[in-house]
């Protein structure tokens, strides 16, 4: 089993507890670690032997673009559920970061973990 990490993927989504936050899509930064069987890729040097990180990034962007959540926790759970339905992932850690939502903080993050 191998670990694949995606760092600082920027996605646009409608999110926020308050109406003014949901007037336009906001940028959320996604950090993701997932564990999957990579033996085929290690031996055959083909993308079919692993979970393609480009496909994972596309799936995250597509899910986020059609989503309308109030909370980062719900968005993180939605992304996680969507990825697990599409890809053979054995373990997943997702962190979402939103800037500018608390005046005295640079950003806030939510991190969820899943393991089969």
* Res 22: pLDDT: 86
Spatial separation of the C-alpha atoms in residues 114 and 116, rounded to whole Å:
7
Cβ atoms 38, 96 nearer than 8 A:
no
pLDDT in tens, 36-75: 999 999 999 999 999 999 999 999 999 999 999 999 999 9
Query: How is the chain split into domains, by residue range?
Result: 2-115
Provide, rounded to the nearest whole percent, the portion of the chain with pLDDT above 90.
88
Please tell me which residue, 63 or 102, carries the higher pLDDT value.
Answer: 63
3-state secondary structure of 109: strand
Number of CB atoms found within 10 A of residue 115's CB: 9
DSSP state of 47: G
Place of tokens 């003014």: 20
Cβ atoms 6, 56 nearer than 8 A:
yes
Question: CATH code for 2-115?
Answer: 3.30.1130.10
Place of tokens 């646009």: 12
């Amino acid at each position: 089993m191998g670990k694949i990490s995606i760092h600082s993927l920027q996605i646009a989504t409608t999110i926020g507890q308050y109406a003014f936050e949901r007037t336009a899509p906001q940028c959320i930064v996604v950090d993701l670690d997932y564990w999957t069987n990579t033996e085929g890729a290690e031996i055959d040097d083909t993308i079919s032997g692993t979970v393609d990180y480009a496909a994972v990034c596309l799936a995250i962007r597509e899910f986020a673009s059609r989503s309308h959540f109030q909370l980062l926790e719900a968005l993180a759970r939605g992304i996680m559920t969507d990825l697990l339905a599409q890809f053979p992932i054995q373990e997943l850690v997702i962190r979402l970061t939103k800037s500018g939502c608390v005046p005295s903080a640079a950003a806030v993050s939510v991190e969820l973990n899943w393991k089969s």
